[in-house]
Amino acid sequence: MKIAMIGSGYVGLVSGACFADFGHEVVCVDKDEGKISRLNANIMPIYEPGLDALVKTNVDAGRLSFSTDVMQSVKGCGAIFIAVGTPSRRGDGHADLSYVYAAAEELARAIDPGTVVVTKSTVPVGTGDEVERIIRQTSPDLEFAVVSNPEFLREGAAIGDFKRPDRIVVGSDVEWARDVMRAIYRPLFLNESPLLFTSRRSSELIKYAANAFLATKITFINEMADLCEKLGADVQDVSRGIGLDNRIGPKFLHAGPGYGGSCFPKDTLALLKTAQDNETPVRVVEAVVQANDLRKRAMGRKIINALGGDVRGMKIGLLGLTFKPNTDDMRDAPSIAIVQTLLDAGAIVHAHDPEGMEEAAKILPDVVMADSAYSAAQDAHAVALITEWDAYRALDLKKLHAAMAGDVLVDLRNIYRPEEAQAAGFNYVSVGRND
């Protein structure tokens, strides 16, 4: 089948490359000419493991191409995916749908009869209705269907998540559109990934409910971690102990500095707005958003407290700035609030990150970027590990300690065992454990 992706950002590019790998003919479209010409030269706009090789293989095989021309690209397509951004609207937290609606307006004039328009962007409930209305207004006699098909890709593991999904959700009541979606995803359900058909509105809500639930799990264990510190319990044991209950499950129960990224903060906020607009408060999610916001700065204070409460003029080395490993994404990263708290308290902050330093330097101009973990630690009074990159899991702790002026190691991801850090001479502080 011929497929067009409108928007060649994270979701559009990964999904487009994976669909091409299934054997479909895919064109990824974007308005950004620079991005399209870089993609044509196999230069990826994002860091995602395996993506450059996947793109190259499929471009070489003639199944994947890039274009800035919507009109041209959508000709002859069985399905067109809208995968443009839906950022938080400044001021009110609602999802900004202007890119989605602009795409719908453009498609209204361009698509062939019998086309399925699929919203892959994360969109509030009712957006599919509006996309349908926009297209129908311009082309009242056109036969088309608007389907919701949310993505559940994690940055850093997106290709694996796409090819081995827990489920594929398709929201549409139109039978012929469901058949088109079955044909597109056929290679996956042959692998026994369940294809769940729902109404369009249910599908739109599933995306938000899933992200809000995961954000709740993380926030819950983070609060348990705080309690563990007070009670002399160990959050890793608590997490394991509850996670072995099948009804709870072990995933997304790692305590840390709070969730960040381009999805959970934005989507939880948008869900709150939808709930408020419909006068049906979702109080659990409200509490999650608030607790997570407070937690990020609290993690900065945790580092300050580990240094005795006054860090004026002290050097602090941070390891990891991105919101999680295997990405260069700095959006809503906990490191941003942590750095601000440390700088406000008068500390001098040096940092290292394997992929995120270029992005981080734009957001955190007062941080000195170091070329290795050890140089971030050089003469530092404390080192704080913020993102659990593999490169930080096997540090030579004795060497790290020797480079420093002080002996404090704050491990906000619990990747070291207290005994091993203490054996290397550290005054070791982690999350929810009694070090």
φ, ψ of residue 316 in degrees (nearest 5): -125, 130
Amino acid (one-letter) located at 300: G
Asked if 208 interacts with ligand UGA (CB under 6 A), we say: no
Which residue, 153 or 377, has its beta carbon nearer to ligand UGA?
Answer: 153
In the complex, least distance from residue 95 CB atom to ligand UGA, rounded to whole angstroms:
12
When binding is defined by CB under 6 A, the residue of 151, 204, 355, 411 that contacts ligand UGA is: 151
The Cα–Cα gap between 42 and 32 comes to 15
In the complex, least distance from residue 398 CB atom to ligand UGA, rounded to whole angstroms:
28
Task: Compute the half-sphere exposure of residue 74: CA atoms within 13 Å on the CB side of its CA.
Answer: 26
How many residues touch ligand UGA (CB under 6 A)? 21
Which residue, 128 or 325, has its beta carbon nearer to ligand UGA?
Answer: 325
Active site residue 28: no
Asked if 154 interacts with ligand UGA (CB under 6 A), we say: yes
Residue 122 in marked binding region:
yes
φ, ψ of residue 14 in degrees (nearest 5): -65, -45
Helix crossing, 127-138 with 98-110: angle to 10°? 30
Which residue, 73 or 122, has its beta carbon nearer to ligand UGA?
Answer: 122
The one segment of 24-32, 96-104, 257-265, 301-309 that binds ligand UGA by CB under 6 A = 257-265
Asked if 303 interacts with ligand UGA (CB under 6 A), we say: no
Residue 406 in marked binding region:
no
Give the SS3 label for residue 181: helix
Task: Compute the half-sphere exposure of residue 205: CA atoms within 13 Å on the CB side of its CA.
Answer: 10
- Compute CA 391 distance to the chain's CA centroid, rounded to the nearest angstrom: 20
Residue 260 in marked binding region:
yes
Which residue, 115 or 211, has its beta carbon nearer to ligand UGA?
Answer: 211
Asked if 22 interacts with ligand UGA (CB under 6 A), we say: no
Asked if 7 interacts with ligand UGA (CB under 6 A), we say: no
Q: Scanning residues 328 to 387, which ones bind ligand UGA (CB under 6 A)?
A: none
For strands 144-148 and 315-319, give the pairing.
unpaired
Residue 433 in marked binding region:
no
Beta strand spans in 283-375 (E):
315-319, 348-352, 368-369
Residue 266 in marked binding region:
yes
Question: In sequence order, what are the beta bridge partners of 384?
Answer: 318, 410
When binding is defined by CB under 6 A, the residue of 116, 146, 228, 253 that contacts ligand UGA is: 253
Asked if 152 interacts with ligand UGA (CB under 6 A), we say: yes
Centre a 10 Å sphere on the Cβ of residue 45 and count the other Cβ atoms it contains.
Answer: 17
Asked if 204 interacts with ligand UGA (CB under 6 A), we say: no
Asked if 88 interacts with ligand UGA (CB under 6 A), we say: no
Asked if 211 interacts with ligand UGA (CB under 6 A), we say: yes
Q: What separation in angstroms does the CA of 256 have from each of 301, 323, 352?
A: 14, 11, 19
Asked if 323 interacts with ligand UGA (CB under 6 A), we say: yes
Residue 207 in marked binding region:
yes
Asked if 252 interacts with ligand UGA (CB under 6 A), we say: yes
Radius of gyration of the chain from Cα atoms? 23
Task: Compute the half-sphere exposure of residue 286: CA atoms within 13 Å on the CB side of its CA.
Answer: 9
The Cα–Cα gap between 36 and 39 comes to 5
Contact at 8 Å (CB) between 134 and 105? yes
As a three-state string, the secondary structure of 92-157 is: CCCECCHHHHHHHHHHHHHCCCCEEEEECCCCCCCHHHHHHHHHHHHCCCCCEEEEECCCCCCCCC
In the complex, least distance from residue 150 CB atom to ligand UGA, rounded to whole angstroms:
8
When binding is defined by CB under 6 A, the residue of 9, 12, 128, 256 that contacts ligand UGA is: 256
Catalytic hit among 18, 77, 228, 263: 263
Q: Which residue is nearest to ligand UGA (CB)?
A: 263
- Contacts for 363 with CB less than 8 Å, ≥ 6 apart: 330, 336
Residue 272 in marked binding region:
no
For strands 408-411 and 382-385, give the pairing.
parallel
In the complex, least distance from residue 431 CB atom to ligand UGA, rounded to whole angstroms:
10
φ, ψ of residue 82 in degrees (nearest 5): -95, 115
Residue 254 in marked binding region:
yes
Pseudo-torsion of CA 44, 46, 49, 51, nearest 10°?
-40
Which residue, 302 or 324, has its beta carbon nearer to ligand UGA?
Answer: 324
> What does the per-residue mask of binding to ligand UGA show for 104-133, with x meaning CB under 6 A?
------------------x-----------
When binding is defined by CB under 6 A, the residue of 35, 94, 254, 296 that contacts ligand UGA is: 254
* Residues carrying an active site annotation: 263
Binding site for ligand UGA (CB under 6 A): 122, 151-155, 211, 214, 218, 252-254, 256, 259-261, 263-264, 267, 323-324
Summarize the annotated binding site as residue ranges.
30, 35, 86, 122, 152-155, 207, 252-256, 260, 266, 324, 331
Residues of each annotated binding site for substrate: 152-155, 207, 252-256, 260, 324
